[in-house]
Amino acid sequence: MRSWSRERSWEVLLALILVGTIAYNATQSDVYLDVDNFVNIFRLSIEKVIIAVAMTFVIVSGEIDLSVASVMAFSACTLAFAYDSGVPFWLAIVLALVAAAAAGLLQGWVIASTGISSLVVTLAGLIGFRGAARVLLEDRSIGDFPAWFGDVGRADFIGPMPFGLVLFLVLLVLGGIVLHRSVVGRRLFVLGDNAEVARFSGIDVARTKVLLFIASAFVAGVAGVLFAARLGSVRANIGEGFELDIITMVLLGGVSIFGGSGTLLGVALAIGIVLNLRNGLGLANVESNTQTGVIGVLLIASVLAQNALDRLPLRRSGADAQEAAA
């Protein structure tokens, strides 16, 4: 065990839990192991998992972005509002994505230039952008999108997988490469570990933070467009409460809330656990709020367990290993 790093042992633990969850669910329902069912499981939560990938980058860097669900709604509402006002649909999509990126730019710039903690700024964003979504759509529900858009959201794209799921898998792989194998990723780990050290090693902290929040918001914007495609209509209150699941997926995946460590593989496994757990509970007719309670327990337990693991003499990878190697 000593040769295993902290991340590796966490991933193994997650893998075991994932297999256990799936195995249990499979005993409760014959159709559980169908490919269709697994696709469905992702289908129902595709926006959350996509945002979770982006959130990993944010938390690894020592920040947090509480506004993601609100930016998602804001972006979807921009799409709906623009389309409803007669803007050509492709342009409405572009506007939605631009709006999301702008939201990220605003938050990132405030965080980088004033030094105010990302918790507070993105909390203001959570409230503010939800408000912006309400200003656009008020309490109306806008739908009637072009048929091809609904197909993108719902129909099979590659094999039995819809477009959203394919996009998620692509993001996961690309994200893994960027986070763990590129200079950019290494910088984020260093930043999360110690912002002062990062500054002294020549990293442009301010610029990195701004780009980080733009990227996070942009992904939230993409999720918003996907949501509109999947559900066929948009309201200002969509995505309320997504933050809990998203943050759970990331923290359960072994990413430290303080920044500086974690793996995307861990997050991927955690995503699998959360989704299968929710689905298994749903099939047992456990109501959604109760499911959320279980997720809450999982969240706290994962940090408690990580604290416990910290006391074991396990090698840490990531920034620490690089310091040791340098």
Partner 1 sequence: MRQHKLIAALACLLLFAAACGDDDDTESSSSGSDSGGSAGEAVTIEGGDDMNSILLPKCTGIAVFDQANEGAQEAAEELGTSEPEFLGPSTCEDPTGQIETMTNAATQGVDAVMISNNAGEQIQSGVDAATDADVSVVSWDSPIPSGEGESLFVAQVDFDETGVVMADMALDILGDEGGQLAILSASPDASNQNAWIEAFNTALEDEKYANLELVDTVYGNDDSDESYNQALGLIDSHPDLKLIMAPTTVGIAAAGKAMTDEGLCDQVKVSGLGLPEEMRGYTQSGCAPEFALWSFVDLGYLTYYATYGIATGQFDAVEGQKFTAGRMGEYTIEKDPTRDSGLRIVMGPFTVYTEDNIDD
Partner 2 sequence: MSSTAAVARSPVWIRPERIKELSLIGVIALMLVVFSFLVDDYLGGRFFNRVTTSVAITAVLAVAQTIVIITRNIDLSVGSIVGVSAYITGEYVRDHPSSSALVGIALALGIGLLLGAVNGTIVAWGRVPAIVTTLGTLAIYRSWLVSHGEGRTITADSLPSWVVELPNRTVFSVGELDVRLIFAVVVAIVVVLQIALQRLRWGRRLYAIGSNPDAATQAGLPTRRLVFSAFCACGALSGLAGFLFLARFGNITVVAGQGLELDSVAAAVVGGVSVLGGSGTLLGAFLGAVLIDVLDQSLVRVPQVSEFWRNAILGALILAAVVADAAIGRRFRRRWSAEARPHTRVEPAEEEKEPTHA
Site for partner 2 in 28-57 (CB under 8 A): none
Using CB under 8 A as the criterion, what x/- string covers residues 197-226 for binding partner 2? ------------------------------
Count of C-beta atoms within a 10 Å radius of residue 326: 5
Which of 44, 95, 294, 305 touches partner 1 (CB under 8 A)? 44
Site for partner 2 in 286-305 (CB under 8 A): 287, 289-297, 299-300, 303-304
Site for partner 2 in 55-94 (CB under 8 A): 64
Which of 235, 265, 266, 267 touches partner 1 (CB under 8 A)? 235
Stretch that binds partner 2, among 49-57, 84-92, 183-191, 251-259 (CB under 8 A): 251-259
Please count the residues of this chain forming the interface with partner 2, following the rule CB under 8 A.
45
Under the binding rule (CB under 8 A), the answer on residue 89 touching partner 1 is no
Stretch that binds partner 2, among 12-20, 28-36, 131-139, 170-178 (CB under 8 A): 131-139
Stretch that binds partner 2, among 132-140, 176-184, 205-213, 221-229 (CB under 8 A): 132-140
Written in H, E and C, the secondary structure of the chain is: CCCCEHHHHHHHHHHHHHHHHHHHHHHHCCCCCCHHHHHHHHHHHHHHHHHHHHHHHHHHCCCCCCCHHHHHHHHHHHHHHHHHCCCCHHHHHHHHHHHHHHHHHHHHHHHHHHCCCHHHHHHHHHHHHHHHHHHHHCCCCEECCCHHHHHHHHCEEECCEEHHHHHHHHHHHHHHHHHHHCHHHHHHHHHHHCHHHHHHCCCCHHHHHHHHHHHHHHHHHHHHHHHHHHHCEECCCCCCCHHHHHHHHHHHCCCCCCCCCCCHHHHHHHHHHHHHHHHHHHHCCCCHHHHHHHHHHHHHHHHHHHHHHHCCCCECCCHHHHHHHC
Which of 204, 240, 310, 323 touches partner 1 (CB under 8 A)? 240
Interacting partner of 204 out of partner 1, partner 2, none (Cβ under 5 to 8 A depending on kind) = none
Of 229 and 298, CB closest to partner 2: 298
C-beta of 68: minimal distance to partner 2 in Å?
14
Site for partner 1 in 113-152 (CB under 8 A): 139-141, 143
Under the binding rule (CB under 8 A), the answer on residue 289 touching partner 1 is yes
Under the binding rule (CB under 8 A), the answer on residue 16 touching partner 2 is no
- Note every long-range contact of 295-304, with CB atoms under 8 Å and residues 24 or more positions apart, other chains counting: 295/244, 295/245, 295/248, 296/244, 296/248, 298/248, 298/252, 298/273, 298/274, 299/244, 299/247, 299/248, 299/251, 299/252, 302/248, 302/251, 302/252, 303/251, 303/257
C-beta of 137: minimal distance to partner 1 in Å?
10
Following CA atoms 75, 81, 85, 89 in sequence, which dihedral angle do they give, to the nearest 10 degrees? 40
Site for partner 2 in 268-287 (CB under 8 A): 287
Of 100 and 247, CB closest to partner 2: 247
Kindly list the residues in this chain that would bind partner 1 in the complex (CB under 8 A). Answer: 29-32, 35-37, 40, 44, 139-141, 143, 154, 160, 230-233, 235, 237, 240-241, 279, 282-283, 285, 287-289
Kindly list the residues in this chain that would bind partner 2 in the complex (CB under 8 A). Answer: 64, 110, 114-117, 119-121, 123-132, 134-135, 138-139, 236, 243-244, 247, 251, 257-258, 287, 289-297, 299-300, 303-304, 307
